Amino acid sequence: MDLSFFSMGMWSIGAGALGAAALALLLANTDVFLSKSQKATLEYLEDIDLKTLGKEPRTFKAKELWEKNGAVIMAVRRPGCFLCREEAADLSSLKPKLDELGVPLYAVVKEQIRTEVQDFQPYFKGEIFLDEKKKFYGPQRRKMMFMGFIRLGVWYNFFRARNGGFSGNLEGEGFILGGVFVVGSGKQGILLEHREKEFGDKVNPVSVLEAARKIQPQTLAMETK
C-alpha cells in the first residue's frame, strides 16, 4: 500500500469534514435557516382568548387589554429563562413613562408551571395572563431548536444577561419564540411588532416608547373624529 497516497486520502477527508463543519457553522449564523415570521393583524390579536391567573380564572378576549388606552404586551418565551427576565426588566424600566402616557404594560405566557409566573413577577411590573392556545406566538408559530446554541448572537446575549446579573432555570417549554407588541386603542392598530428571531433578541425599549407615544386613548380618538 502506498502510505503517502493513503495519508493524502485521509487528509482530504478530514479537510472536507472541516470545510463542511465550517460551512454549517457559517450558515447557522445567518438568517437562512431561521423560521420566517408572519405579521399579525389586529383582527387576529383581538380574537385571542386569554385567562387571568387568579384563584378564580376568567377567560376574556385579548382586545380588552388595549381597547381604551392601548397597551404594551410581551409574549414571554419562558418565564424561567434569564434572557426573558432581562427583557422583562428592560420593559419594566419603561413603566413610569408608560404610566404618564396612560398606557398599560402586560405580558402573556403559554403555560403555568408551579411558581414560574410568580418567580417572573419581580422582573415584570405588569399584569400577566395565560395564552393557552399560544396565539400571541403566531399566526405562524416559530421555533428555535438546538441550532440556537451555535449562533454567535445567542452567546453574546447569554453573556450580556449574565453580566447584568440575571439568572434562571430550565423549567417549561422554551423553543417557541416570543415577541413584543405595542397596540393602539380601539381600531388604531398594531404600532410595533417585534418578533424574537433568536434566543435573547430583545426589543429596543426606545422603539417601544416611541410607539407608545403614538397611542391615542379611545376618548381622545373619538373626539378627534
Q: Tell me the CB-side half-sphere exposure of residue 124, using CA atoms within 13 A.
A: 31
The DSSP line for 27-59 is: HHTSSTTSPPP-PPPHHHHHT-EEE--SSS--E
The residue behind cell 404600532 is 191
Question: Given 50, 74, 84, 176, which residue is catalytic?
Answer: 84
- Of the candidates 62, 65, 76, 81, the residue annotated as catalytic is 81
Q: Is 110 a catalytic residue?
A: no
Q: How many CB atoms lie within 10 A of CB 191?
A: 19
Question: Are the CB atoms for 73 and 181 separated by under 8 Å?
Answer: yes
Q: How far is C-alpha 118 from the geometric centre of its chain's CA atoms?
A: 19
CA–CA dist 175, 129 (Å, integer): 19
Residue 6 catalytic? no
Which residues participate in catalysis according to the annotation?
Answer: 81, 84
